[in-house]
Amino acid sequence: TRARERRETRRGADARAMTSLDGGAIKLRELNGVKVYEVSAARAAPEWAKLEKSTRKLRKNVEYQRRIELVQDLNFPASSGRCKVTADGRYAIVSGLHPPQVKCY
């Protein structure tokens, strides 16, 4: 219990007095003198995990596979000579003439 007392004194009286709506204590973390109170009980999923899950579902969607995406700012002063798409289909690399340019979209 001594360890608990030390934690309580580190947190301060305000942290001991705070409770959540369900009666449990609100979690407190302190780093470099900055106190962070954890208010929500649910764990937040990282943004990349949500995106990965939704894109996996779209792989088999025929309508999604046939859609056309427009690339903005795909222009060259004179002309473009070559366009290559990467194997994963995420990037397009285009080379232009006069003045020589290479752009990645």
* CB-based contact 75:83 (threshold 8 Å): no
Instruction: Indicate the average pLDDT of the chain.
Output: 73
Please give the residue range of the domain that contains residue 98: 75-105
> What is the structure's pLDDT at 13?
45
22-79: per-residue pLDDT in tens?
A: 555 677 888 888 888 776 555 556 666 676 777 778 778 888 778 777 777 778 888 8
| pTM, rounded to two decimals | 0.37
Q: How many domains does the chain have?
A: 2
Confirm whether 33 is domain-assigned: yes
Confirm whether 62 is domain-assigned: no
DSSP string, 50-96: HHHHHHHHHTT-HHHHT---PPTT---SSEEEEEEE-TTSS-EEEEE
Q: Over range 8-33, report the average pLDDT.
A: 61
Burial class (CB in 10 A: 0-12, 13-18, 19+), 80: middle
Confirm whether 10 is domain-assigned: yes
Confirm whether 93 is domain-assigned: yes
Confirm whether 58 is domain-assigned: no
